[in-house]
Chains A and B, each alone.
Chain A
Amino acid sequence: MGIISNGTTLLDAGAIDSGIASGAMVLLSTLTASNSATLDFTSGITSTYKEYMFKYINVHPSANNTSTFFGFQVDTGTNTNYAQTMTTTHFRGAHSEADNHATVQVGADRDQAEGTALQSLAYAVGGNADECISGTMSLFDPASSTFVKHFLSRANVYYEADITMDSFTAGYVNTTTALTRVRFKMTGGNIESGIIKMYGIV
Chain B
Amino acid sequence: MGLISNGTTIFDAGAISLGGSMTFIKKLTASSSASLQFIHGSSGVVFDSTYKEYVFTFKNIHPQTDNSSLTFQVSTNGGTSYGVNTTTTYFRGQHEEDGSSSSLTYVGSDDIADDTGFIPLSEDCGNDNDQNCSGIMSIFNPADTTFVKHWLHNMSAMQRNDYAFNEFMGGYFNTTSAINAVKFEFGAGAIDAGDICLYGIK
- Residues of chain A touching chain B, judged by Cβ–Cβ distance below 8 Å, are 1-3, 11-16, 20-27, 55, 57-58, 60, 93-99, 102-104, 129-136, 154-158, 162-166, 195, 197, 199
Contact = CB atoms under 8 A, between A and B. Distances in A.
A104 B202 contact: no
Contacts, number: 146
A162 B174 CA distance: 10
A127 B159 CA distance: 40
A164 B105 contact: no
Contact of A58 (B3, B87, B108, B144): B144
Classify the interface of chain B: helix, strand, loop or mixed. strand
B146 interface: yes
A136 B90 CA distance: 19
B28 interface: no
24 contacts: A12-B5, A14-B5, A16-B18, A16-B19, A25-B20, A25-B21, A57-B52, A57-B53, A57-B141, A96-B87, A96-B113, A99-B113, A102-B106, A130-B147, A131-B148, A132-B150, A136-B138, A154-B170, A156-B150, A156-B151, A164-B87, A164-B170, A166-B171, A195-B52
A60 B114 contact: no
Interface string B8-20: 1010000001111
Given A95-B88, A199-B21, A156 B171 contact: yes
